[in-house]
Amino acid sequence: MTSLTFADADTPAIPVHVVPEAGLEAWQADAPAAWVTLSEAQGFSGKLGQTLILPGQDGAIDAVLAGYGTEAARARKRFALASVAAKLPAGTYRLAGLDEVATLAEESLGWLLSGYKFTRYAGKPADGALLQADPRLDAPRLEAIAAGEVLTRDLINTPANDMGPEELEAAAQTLADRTGATCHVIRDGDLLAENLPLIHTVGRASPRRPRLIDLRWGGTGPKLTLVGKGVCFDTGGLNLKPGGSMALMKKDMGGSATVLGLAQMIVDTKLPVQLRVLIPAVENAVSGAAFRPGDVLTARNGLTVEINNTDAEGRLVLADALALAAEDAPDLIVSMATLTGAARVAVGPDLAPYYTTDPAHAAALSAAAHDVRDPVWQLPFHAPYEDMIEPGIADLDNAPSGGFAGSITAALFLRRFTGGLGYMHFDIYGWQPSAAPARPKGGVGQGARALLAALPKILNL
């Protein structure tokens, strides 16, 4: 696993002067003449991401200029200085010229995350540009957030042959062992004995046996339960996906990876909550034991579900887990899942749509997402669409026909299993389709940092 930490505070550090386009003249007025001459000769204008190394008389790096562009340019590109970090040779650096602590924190976190590389199968971590934390920052908190994001990315990036239900359980147990949490697992046939029938049904076709992972940490404070979809590979079941749609299905456990990363952040930042993490871990496979279109299944809470598409299995395993979560009457239930293609059509890969019926929760989350540059977007629990998930033959339909409002109807389906308790649902993508600053192509966390920042207000901590 990649370790992303700040450089030792006592190590001599090369200053990185952050210069916006509008601040270029002010920087030139105070800078040594040789630096000004070199920057002009190299055409340095302060454009976002522009990088210029300033050598000393001995040829070693004396300082670095980092273009910070305009406010409009920064609004379009998160973690702008991460692109600068990627261009610098190995060494220790410190940021200079950023006055706002929130901005400094954002760029410092981005610098840390720029060091992430998935190297399990090829390559090795590079000796990159280390950053020395500004003394105004809460450096341990930023390192904890980076470590949680690394956990999420590594789990999603690991292919399904090495990340099945058993390996996902092992990842949760490793987190529990490190943090002092407890981890209880209900496996295979015991799922039926423990009244988790939908998890068993979805996972029974695979030789990699289904299970429910139940992690708990903390003995005081509000009760927070995180539920993550852990479909370690999704063939679509008997409604088999075409090959092109199956290519990224190793990431269908992205919800579980995200809640585990968030759980690690919560524990390492010592958020005063009673945390529970529930992960239904399955592989949706094809065999004679696979569940079928037209089947009617009964969930943990007694609701019946008509199966109109076996490729809408994520909401089934989440249904049992949510019903179990509700029995403990937590103050807040949060589900995260790579649930619908409809969400991607609506908001694209970079935004995580979320659902809540509490305006105060929505306001807190939206403000936090803006502050920490972890974009989310609220979609509605639109009550008139409830009729779309009621097929008549059973209480619920797992895949309403027509194709309209797919993300909303999935969220409404899940809400039926939460017992009327406080509930938020995130329909994430969990994948960065092309490289961006601090986010290489591959698995990525969505919504976790925003939620971490919002939880103190949401839970009145």
In this prediction, residue 373 has a pLDDT band, given cuts at 50, 70 and 90, of very high
pLDDT digits (tens, 9 = 90+) for 35-76: 999 999 999 999 999 999 999 888 899 999 999 999 999 999
Average pLDDT in the 277-304 region? 98
Residue 17 pLDDT more than 70? yes
Residue 127 pLDDT more than 80? no
For residues 414 and 396, give the distance between their C-alpha atoms in angstroms, rounded to a whole number. Answer: 10
pLDDT digits (tens, 9 = 90+) for 183-211: 999 999 899 999 999 999 999 999 999 99
pLDDT digits (tens, 9 = 90+) for 218-268: 999 999 999 999 999 999 999 999 999 999 999 999 999 999 999 999 999
Average pLDDT in the 8-25 region? 96
Residues tagged active-site: 241, 315
Helices 139-157 and 254-268, axial angle in degrees (round to 10): 160
Average pLDDT in the 298-311 region? 98
> What is the average pLDDT value for the chain, to the nearest integer?
96
pLDDT at 403: 84
Residue 93 pLDDT more than 60? yes
What letter would DSSP give residue 134? P
The H or E element that residue 52 is part of is: strand 51-55
Strand order in the sheet with 396-397: 296-298, 304-306, 396-397
pLDDT at 2: 60
CATH 3.40.630.10 fits 143-458, yes or no: yes
Q: Would you state the structure tokens that stand for residue 416, as one six-digit string?
A: 């039926």
pLDDT at 398: 96
Cα separation of the two ends of the chain = 32
Helices 139-157 and 165-179, axial angle in degrees (round to 10): 160
For residues 107 and 436, give the distance between their C-alpha atoms in angstroms, rounded to a whole number. Answer: 14
Average pLDDT in the 95-122 region? 96
Residue 126 pLDDT more than 80? no
Sequence spans of domains, the chain: 14-137, 143-458
Q: What kind of fold does domain 14-137 have according to CATH? A: Leucine Aminopeptidase, subunit E; domain 1 (3.40.220)
Strands (E) across 1-47 are located at: 14-19
In this prediction, residue 402 has a pLDDT band, given cuts at 50, 70 and 90, of confident
